[in-house]
C-alpha cells in the first residue's frame, strides 16, 4: 500500500485517512519495500515505539519472523537492523480449478508453492452439490498427502468456467454450467470442507477461470506488465484482464466474456444465441466439426490430444479457429493496448497461435501491436490454481483485513 501524507509526530496517514496500522506494516514487509524497523519508521512516519508495538502483534500472530540473512545497515544510522520477513509457514491455502469435465485441486503455501495436487474427472453438469462435495473430499486427501492439518488452512480459492459476481461469489447465467446460476458456491464448498475434515469453516473466494489464470500468469511471469490479457480457448472461450496488478472484472463480473461476441456465423451457441465466437472457434466447436468428419472428438481436451498427436485435420481446424479468434482480438488489443497477450487452454498450440497472429497483426493498427508480445501459457494447467491461491492470500493479508483478523484472534 502506498503511504501518503507528511511525516509527523503521529505518523503518515494511509490512503484510508488513518495512521499506518499493523496491516500496513505487514504489507510493506511482504512487498519488500520496507524490511527493517528503521525502514518501516521512515515509510510510515510512526515512532519507534509504535512500530515496535504493531510488529509485536504480527509476531504474536505468527505472521512475521526475523530474516535468515542477518543484520543490515540501518537507514537511520546506529546499530545494524534485523531484517523482517513474512512467515509463509504459518498457514496453507487450498485451490481448485473446474473445467467442464475435469478439475484440478492443490494445497499451496502462502507464497504459491505447490505442496500437493490432484486432477481427475468432475463433470460440472452434475451440479454444485455433487461437484463441490467431491472437492471437499479431494481437499481432505490432499492435506493428508501434504502433511498439513485442516486447521492450518486459512482459505480456499475456486476457479469456475463462467461469469462470477465477485461481491457474492455466485455465477451469473453461466452458459456451460447448468444448475449453478445463483447458487451459494462459497457456502457449499465451505460446508464440504468442514464435513470432510472436521475443521471449522474458512473463507472461500470464487472467480472466473480465465481471470484467475491471467492473475496467476501475470504475477509469476510478467509482474512488470501493467496491462495483461489472457485468452483461454478450451470447451468455451473467455479472457482475463489484469491492469496495474489487479484483475479487471467490470461492474458485475462480466468483463472478458469474449466467447459471446457475435461474429456473423449462424452456429447455435450454448448460451442460446446464434453466431457467438465460442460457437465457431472454441475447442468444443472444433471437436464438433471433427466429429462430423468421423473423427472421434467430443470436447476441447479431445482436440488437444489430437493436436499433440499431429492430426492434420485437427491442426487445420485449429488454425482456422485461431484466425477467427484473432479477428476479435484485434479489437481487444486496440481497446486495451496490452503489453502481453497470452493464449492458454486446450487449443493453445502452434496451429491456433499461428492463426491468431495472422489475423491479429493484419487487422489491428501497428501502433497497437508495436510493443505487444503474443505468447502461450507458462504455467499450463496450473495457472488457475496459482491464481486462485494468490487471490486468497491477497484478500486475507490486505491491510484492512489484517486488522480484522488480528482483533478476532485477540492479538
Residue 40: give its domain's CATH number.
1.10.10.10
Instruction: Please enumerate in sequence order all residues whose Cβ is within 8 A of that of 411, keeping only pairs 6 or more positions apart, or say none.
Output: 57, 60, 61
Q: Provide the domain limits for residue 31.
A: 22-86
Judge whether 188 lies within some domain: yes
Buried b (16+ CB within 10 A) or exposed e, 229-238: bbbbbbbbbb
Domain shared by 251 and 292, yes or no: yes
Q: What is the pLDDT of residue 100?
A: 87
Instruction: Please enumerate in sequence order all residues whose Cβ is within 8 A of that of 350, keeping only pairs 6 or more positions apart, or say none.
Output: none
Domain shared by 237 and 360, yes or no: yes
Say if CB 29 and CB 84 are below 8 A apart: yes
Domain shared by 297 and 323, yes or no: yes
Domain shared by 270 and 154, yes or no: no
Judge whether 316 lies within some domain: yes
Whole-number Cα distances in Å, 120 to 102, 103, 117, 236: 6, 6, 10, 19
Instruction: Please enumerate in sequence order all residues whose Cβ is within 8 A of that of 319, keeping only pairs 6 or more positions apart, or say none.
Output: 351, 352, 354, 355
Q: What is the pLDDT of residue 80?
A: 65
> Exposed, middle or buried by CB within 10 Å (0-12, 13-18, 19+), for 264?
exposed
Domain shared by 337 and 400, yes or no: no
Judge whether 10 lies within some domain: no
Domain shared by 363 and 247, yes or no: yes
Judge whether 7 lies within some domain: no
pTM value > 0.85:
yes
Judge whether 6 lies within some domain: no
Domain shared by 361 and 226, yes or no: yes
DSSP run (H or E) holding 170: strand 170-171
How many residues make up the chain in this entry?
411
Rounded CA-CA distance 14/273 in Å is 48
Domain shared by 182 and 259, yes or no: no
Q: Tally the domains of the chain.
A: 3
Domain shared by 323 and 400, yes or no: no
Which of 61, 86, 111 delimits the end of a domain?
Answer: 86
In what side-by-side order are the strands of the sheet with 204-208? 114-121, 102-109, 92-98, 153-160, 204-208
Rounded CA-CA distance 218/230 in Å is 9
Domain shared by 241 and 345, yes or no: yes
Domain shared by 149 and 234, yes or no: no
Domain shared by 173 and 260, yes or no: no
pLDDT digit of tens for each residue in the chain (411 aa)? Answer: 233 333 333 445 454 556 899 999 999 999 999 999 999 999 999 999 999 999 999 999 999 999 865 555 555 555 567 899 999 999 999 999 999 889 999 999 999 999 999 999 999 999 999 999 999 999 999 999 999 999 999 999 999 999 999 889 999 988 889 999 999 999 999 999 999 999 999 999 999 999 999 999 999 999 999 999 999 999 889 999 999 999 999 988 889 999 999 997 789 998 889 999 999 999 999 999 999 999 999 889 899 999 999 999 999 999 999 999 999 999 999 999 999 999 999 999 999 999 999 999 999 999 999 999 999 999 999 999 999 999 999 999 999 999 999 999 999
Judge whether 216 lies within some domain: no
Amino acid at each position: 500500500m502506498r503511504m501518503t501524507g507528511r511525516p509527523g509526530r503521529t505518523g503518515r496517514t494511509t490512503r484510508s485517512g488513518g495512521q499506518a496500522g499493523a496491516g500496513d506494516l505487514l504489507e510493506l514487509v511482504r512487498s519488500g519495500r520496507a524490511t527493517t524497523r528503521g525502514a518501516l519508521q521512515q515509510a510510515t512516519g510512526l515512532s519507534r515505539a509504535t512500530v515496535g508495538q504493531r510488529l509485536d502483534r504480527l509476531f504474536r500472530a505468527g505472521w512475521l519472523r526475523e530474516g535468515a540473512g542477518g543484520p543490515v545497515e540501518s537507514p537511520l544510522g546506529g546499530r545494524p537492523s534485523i531484517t523482517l520477513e513474512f512467515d509463509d509457514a504459518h498457514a496453507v491455502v487450498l485451490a481448485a480449478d473446474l473445467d467442464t469435465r475435469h478439475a484440478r485441486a492443490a494445497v499451496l503455501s502462502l507464497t504459491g508453492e505447490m505442496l500437493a495436487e490432484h486432477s481427475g474427472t468432475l463433470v460440472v453438469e452434475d451440479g454444485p452439490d455433487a461437484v463441490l462435495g467431491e472437492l471437499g473430499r479431494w481437499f481432505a486427501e490432499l492435506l493428508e498427502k501434504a502433511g498439513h492439518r485442516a486447521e492450518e488452512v486459512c482459505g480456499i480459492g475456486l476457479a469456475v468456467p463462467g461469469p462470477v459476481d465477485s461481491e457474492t461469489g455466485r455465477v451469473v447465467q453461466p452458459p456451460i454450467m447448468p444448475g449453478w446460476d445463483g447458487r451459494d458456491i462459497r457456502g457449499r464448498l465451505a460446508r464440504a470442507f468442514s464435513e470432510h475434515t472436521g475443521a471449522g469453516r474458512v473463507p472461500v473466494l470464487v472467480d472466473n477461470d480465465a481471470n484467475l489464470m491471467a492473475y496467476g500468469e501475470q504475477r509469476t511471469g510478467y509482474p512488470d506488465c501493467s496491462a495483461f490479457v489472457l485468452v483461454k480457448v478450451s470447451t468455451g472461450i473467455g479472457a482475463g484482464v489484469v491492469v496495474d496488478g489487479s484483475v479487471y472484472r467490470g461492474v458485475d463480473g462480466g468483463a472478458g466474456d469474449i466467447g459471446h461476441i457475435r461474429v456473423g456465423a449462424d452456429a447455435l451457441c450454448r448460451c442460446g444465441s446464434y453466431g457467438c465466437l465460442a460457437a465457431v472457434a472454441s475447442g468444443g466447436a472444433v471437436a464438433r466439426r471433427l466429429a462430423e468428419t468421423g473423427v472421434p472428438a467430443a470436447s476441447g481436451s479431445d482436440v488437444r490430444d489430437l493436436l499433440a498427436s499431429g492430426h492434420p485435420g485437427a491442426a487445420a481446424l485449429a488454425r482456422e479457429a485461431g484466425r477467427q479468434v484473432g479477428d476479435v482480438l484485434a479489437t481487444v488489443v486496440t481497446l486495451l493496448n496490452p503489453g502481453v497477450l497470452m493464449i492458454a487452454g486446450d487449443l493453445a498450440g502452434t496451429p491456433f497461435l499461428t492463426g491468431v497472429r495472422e489475423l491479429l497483426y493484419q487487422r489491428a493498427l501497428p501502433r497497437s501491436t508495436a510493443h505487444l508480445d503474443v505468447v502461450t501459457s507458462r504455467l499450463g494447467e496450473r495457472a488457475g490454481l496459482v491464481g486462485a491461491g494468490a487471490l486468497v492470500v491477497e484478500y486475507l493479508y490486505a491491510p484492512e483485513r489484517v486488522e480484522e483478523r488480528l482483533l478476532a484472534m485477540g492479538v
